[in-house]
Structure 1
Amino acid sequence: MQEPKLFINDIIESNPLGGFQKLVMLLCALVIIFDGFDVLAIAYAAPALSAEFNIAKGQLGLVFSAGLIGMMIGALVLGPLGDKYGRRQAVIASVVIFGVFSVLTGYITSYHELILLRFLTGLGLGGAMPNATALMTEYVAGKMRNIAVAVIFLGMPIGAITGGLLAAHIIPAYGWSSIFFWGGWMPLLLVPVLFFWLPESPRFLTAQNKDNDALLRRIARKIARNQTIPPSAVFIHPAEEAQQHSPIKALFMPGYARDTLLLWAAFFLNLMVAYFLYSWIPTLLVGSGYALGQASTTVILLNIGGAISPFASAWMMRRWGSRPVIVGYFLLGALSMMLLGKLSASLAMLQVMAFFAGFFIVGGQISLNALASYIYPTAIRSTGMGWAFGIGRSGSIIGPVLAGTLIAMALGLDVYFMVFGAVCVLTATATLFIRRHEKPVETEDQ
């Protein structure tokens, strides 16, 4: 009797989101939560570190950028490794790296040690995000992709908000090192959970020319709870054009080169703005006479806006497609940035505009993440996302350094935010010309 042949994609697309997939989503979200916590730990600790080690504001830009350079290299290296060895292994390795080096940051005794350990922490932070995103999106149906990305990237602002609330209490009581100890031990405690319960991506497994049907049958049975998967079933391993090229070269296959370059430009420009906000808002507001607690609350509101936004954009993209939604987000982000600088004399208005900046800029980045997972096929998805994040990280390095240069010139808050608002307009332009935008769901169903 001939063994039944199955497509894992058909099983995923034809079944509702079940408990097994929700567990994968939760574990990926936890990785992103700890990623978000560790990324911003340095921003919350910066005022105390500056005081203890006599670090000038201009030198802080180098500290912020050291971590971001690590994140860039981590994304560029660990993204392709996720396509070669599996998303699961790349996620776990990334969490171990950023957990260990975050703990070690709590023991630094000099400015140069701080720069080195932020760089090493960044390697893990950079690798976690593209691989966790690729893993999660490969467990859900296409119609659920944007919601899944919104849910797991809710972890980024949750981590940042938790860090802000925690920092406001533990740094005054226990010193700056406490925020790094929390940021390191929490992900390290998650590693055994990931090892035992985080599964490999079934779409990745079918993209491999290996005898892994037994593992695919186990995964398929957990996804298709009301469908019988025969013990003798085998899975079709579709050959993708991308598999004929090296993962990085495949990003420039016919029809992909333009979208790859424009996606890189959008990531570069938007992360330049986002990390200006993340890295400098606490220091700028404290320098303008606001209390650290008020500055931390402003960052929390920025992240609340970013947390709410992806759910709104996911609904809008199902209705109107990704192009008008994402482009509109970045244009409104530009307006929010300009108003944030103009209205900074009023704490209430500053915090309102910080919320909207988070909604459109941080939320817009999460929509770009979802678009990146849509653009690339399974064989190069981690590479495509990893390189987009990696190129984007170079923008996140330049953003804080550019801000440090502007601040050293003492041009004023309104000028700083006006400059980065103009960058948002460029982001909108790059996004506009990407070809492979998601279509409205209604259009696809017709």
Structure 2
Amino acid sequence: MTNQTLHPALNIEHLLDTRPMTTLQILLVILCGATMFIDGFGIQVMALSVPSISAEWGLPATRFAMALSASLIGLTVGAALLAPLGDRFGRRPALISALVAVGLSTAGTVLSSSPEQFVFWRLLTGLGLGVSIPICNTWAAEYIPLRQRGIVLVLINAAMGVGAFSAGFMAPPVIEAWSWRGVFVLAGVTPVLVAVLLWRWAPESLKFLNARRPGDPRVAAILARIAPDIDQRQVGRVIAAPLRVARVSVAALLAPAYRSRTLVLWGLLILNLFSLYLLISWLPTLLQSAGWLPAAALRAAVLIQAGGVIGGIALGLLLDRGKTLPALFVAFLTAALCLALFALVPSGDGWIVLLLMIGGGITGAQLSLNALCTSYYPAAIKATGMSWAGVVGSCGSISAPLAGAWIIGQGLAPASILALLGIPALLCAVGVLLMRSHWQAH
């Protein structure tokens, strides 16, 4: 593109969607991926530590059910009350502040001396995660060209699964060397380091500035780095008229234009996150109850994350090709079938295969749902859409650890508990049939 060929109707969204990604955009994507990696590690670390803490303190694992839910409660509150501030003050300050909060509160968890104190620290960690996850997705989505957005967002969200998967292999030696406290220190230092990198190198969202602060001098500065061939004297011709929204709230997501997609999306998120977080929270304990050695149980418990990365990438490729809905349907149906098979397959190598396939279905589908959240709403309400998707989905994720503790307390066999999770997976498959392809328009 040259100054002579610049079209009068060209705007920032068109500019970002039609040009190759620059080094600056790629750097932002990498930093957002790093953010999701450490968020995944931080979410998984509590479940992996419960068996060790339970043995050290002589308490039953079910005493930590509220601690497992606390971060998810905080995540819900943070997503509802704090993440929408990203639509007011910007993606950059919101994410950097959230990462610092996650790091300090996670490191502070080592001071815990009772299950109740774990609840306090994990609640604070969840508040930061409730801002970090939706803002990270929103910020990245606003710099990724449309034709690549689906797969890149899936890869960014897959980094969360990689972080959780890595925790399963990093936790055993760290716990052996420094007890469970060493894992929380490790999970607390890394978010602060990434926050420093974002502060140093990452630019504010160009689409946010255009929509909310079109006169901000950062617009021209960022454009000069992304599109240096555009004459800065003509920047005014590049910037479209900003979209003004007097107040952004959940009501905007339930307006007639977005109501159907919002309700269907929320329903799927509740069901799928219930299954996912019950597995994340109690799989290490269930596997040990089924006779697995502690270290083997920790490694096997994160196989759902490994399967999710593979499944998420495959679904992401289909998302960019307009085949999201059939792919999601097959993913949920496969997960439901594999969960039901736990009632028939003996504990051992067969369970490893089932866990990988379940991860591809449940966790992989969740990555695609996260990507869909960013494409269902326009820029002015995108962070609000992402944050409220997290809020509503947390109704499933918060209840999952508590429900899991109750089910375990009923004395059901681990295989039977896992087989029961096939029911919400099957309901998700039915829910996909209610979705419409034209909703994915932004």
TM-score, reference length from structure 2: 0.93
In the alignment, structure 1 segments of 5+ residues that lack a partner are 441-446
Deviations 1:43-100 (A, max 9, x none): 1111111122333233222111111101111111232111111111111111011100
Amino acid at match of 2:434: F
Q: Does the 8 Å CA contact 1:250/1:380 hold for their aligned counterparts?
A: yes
> 1:172-211 alignment to 2 at 5 Å?
172-211=176-215
Deviations 1:79-135 (A, max 9, x none): 211111111111111101110000000121122111111111111112111000000
Query: Which secondary structure does the structure 2 equivalent of 1:85 belong to?
Result: coil
Judged with a 3 Å threshold, the aligned counterparts in structure 2 of structure 1 residues 85 and 427 are, in CA distance, closer, same or farther, namely: same
Q: Does the 8 Å CA contact 1:306/1:361 hold for their aligned counterparts?
A: yes
Which residue of the other structure, out of 39, 60, 66, is the alignment partner of 2:64? 60
How many residues matched? 435
Q: Does the 8 Å CA contact 1:75/1:130 hold for their aligned counterparts?
A: yes
Amino acid at match of 1:380: I
Which residue of the other structure, out of 221, 225, 229, is the alignment partner of 2:224? 221
Q: In the aligned structure 2, how far is the partner of 1:372 from the partner of 1:429? A: 19
Which residue of the other structure, out of 76, 100, 107, is the alignment partner of 2:104? 100
Query: Which secondary structure does the structure 2 equivalent of 1:58 belong to?
Result: helix
Tell me what 2:121 maps to. Answer: 117
Q: Does the 8 Å CA contact 1:371/1:437 hold for their aligned counterparts?
A: no
Please tell me whether residue 294 in structure 1 is matched to residue 291 in structure 2. Answer: no
Judged with a 3 Å threshold, the aligned counterparts in structure 2 of structure 1 residues 250 and 222 are, in CA distance, closer, same or farther, namely: same
Tell me what 2:76 maps to. Answer: 72
Q: In the aligned structure 2, how far is the partner of 1:54 from the partner of 1:382? A: 44
- Over the residues paired in the alignment, what is the CA RMSD in angstroms? 2.1
Which residue of the other structure, out of 308, 331, 334, is the alignment partner of 1:332? 334
Q: In the aligned structure 1, how far is the partner of 2:108 from the partner of 2:93? A: 23
Tell me what 1:342 maps to. Answer: 344
Q: Greater CA deviation, 416-425 or 28-37?
A: 416-425
Tell me what 1:81 maps to. Answer: 85
Tell me what 1:423 maps to. Answer: 424
Please tell me whether residue 369 in structure 1 is matched to residue 373 in structure 2. Answer: no
Deviations 1:277-319 (A, max 9, x none): 1111111111221111211221232211111122211222333
Judged with a 3 Å threshold, the aligned counterparts in structure 2 of structure 1 residues 348 and 126 are, in CA distance, closer, same or farther, namely: same
Q: Greater CA deviation, 301-310 or 26-35?
A: 301-310
1:244 Cα offset (Å): 4.9
Judged with a 3 Å threshold, the aligned counterparts in structure 2 of structure 1 residues 264 and 113 are, in CA distance, closer, same or farther, namely: same
Q: In the aligned structure 2, how far is the partner of 1:309 from the partner of 1:438? A: 23
Q: Does the 8 Å CA contact 2:141/2:149 hold for their aligned counterparts?
A: yes
Q: Does the 8 Å CA contact 1:5/1:236 hold for their aligned counterparts?
A: no
1:247 Cα offset (Å): 2.8
Query: Which secondary structure does the structure 2 equivalent of 1:246 belong to?
Result: coil
Q: In the aligned structure 1, how far is the partner of 2:341 from the partner of 2:322? A: 28
Please tell me whether residue 267 in structure 1 is matched to residue 302 in structure 2. Answer: no
1:438 Cα offset (Å): 6.1
1:6 Cα offset (Å): 5.0
Q: In the aligned structure 1, how far is the partner of 2:179 from the partner of 2:23? A: 41
Tell me what 2:287 maps to. Answer: 285
1:439 Cα offset (Å): 6.9
TM-score, reference length from structure 1: 0.93
Q: Does the 8 Å CA contact 1:322/1:439 hold for their aligned counterparts?
A: no
Q: Does the 8 Å CA contact 1:323/1:437 hold for their aligned counterparts?
A: no
Which residue of the other structure, out of 161, 165, 183, is the alignment partner of 1:157? 161
In the alignment, structure 2 segments of 5+ residues that lack a partner are 1-5
Q: In the aligned structure 1, how far is the partner of 2:84 from the partner of 2:440? A: 28
